[in-house]
């Protein structure tokens, strides 16, 4: 399935929103989010990879995208984002790429506004004994920490739209 970032994020982010793209990579969704939230909104593009964040920063500068703040950080340590300040979190296939699942979930809960929501997804397949793998039981446990608004399973991943209240 072909993902159209602008169409995807427009379902979740609106003008003036403060959003976090956790595990942003080179910014595929960050730039779509920047358009969705407009000049009054803000996008926190977060990735642990310095090269990816460098690419986001260069692209933002080249295109004059002033509402993106690109930060090198772990999904389990979003220190640059204040508590309860984010309207929407995008965590697409991130938790399953790191060992500290609980830390990442706790940070999503911490930064979300009470009225905010998060789109979270994990890969369905992986090395079962590997510390990054999220099996269906752990996925259910992660979702138990949120109010689930919608959820589903695709061929390659599990996803949910969640809120903290």
**In tens digits, what is the pLDDT along the chain, a chain of 165 residues?**
457 999 999 999 999 999 999 999 999 999 999 999 999 999 999 999 999 999 999 999 999 999 999 999 999 999 999 999 999 999 999 999 899 999 999 999 999 999 999 999 999 876 667 788 898 999 999 999 999 999 999 988 999 999 997
pLDDT of 110 reads 98
Q: Are 93 and 25 in contact (CB under 8 A)?
A: no
Q: Are 78 and 110 in contact (CB under 8 A)?
A: yes
Three-state helix/strand/coil letters over the chain:
CCCCHHHHHCCCCCCCCEEEEECCCCCHHHHHHHHHHCCCCEEEEEECCHHHHHHHHHHHHHHCCCCEEEEECCCCCCCCCCCCCEEEEEEECCHHHCCCHHHHHHHHHHHEEEEEEEEEEEECCCCCCCCCCCCHHHHHHHHCCCEEEEEEECCCEEEEEEECC
Longest dimension (CA), the chain: 45
Share of the chain above pLDDT 90, in %: 85
Question: What are the pLDDT digits (tens) for 45-81?
Answer: 999 999 999 999 999 999 999 999 999 999 999 999 9
Number of domains in the chain: 1
CATH number at residue 38: 3.40.50.150
Which residue range(s) make up the domain with 103? 5-163
Cα–Cα distance, 145 to 98 (Å, whole number): 19
């Amino acid at each position: 399935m072909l993902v159209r970032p602008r169409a995807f994020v427009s379902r979740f982010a609106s003008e003036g929103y403060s959003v976090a793209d956790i595990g942003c990579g080179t910014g595929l969704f960050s730039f779509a989010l920047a358009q969705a939230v407009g000049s009054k909104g803000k996008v926190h593009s977060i990735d642990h990879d310095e090269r990816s964040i460098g690419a986001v920063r260069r692209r933002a500068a080249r295109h004059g995208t002033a509402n993106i703040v690109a930060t090198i950080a772990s999904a389990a340590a979003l220190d640059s984002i204040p508590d309860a300040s984010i309207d929407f979190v995008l965590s697409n296939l991130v938790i399953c790429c790191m060992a500290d699942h609980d830390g990442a979930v706790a940070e999503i809960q911490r930064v979300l506004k009470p009225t905010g929501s998060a789109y979270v997804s994990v890969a369905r397949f992986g090395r079962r004994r590997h510390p990054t793998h999220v099996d269906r039981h752990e996925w259910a446990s992660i979702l138990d920490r949120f109010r689930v608004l919608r959820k589903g399973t695709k061929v390659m991943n599990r996803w949910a739209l969640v809120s903290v209240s």
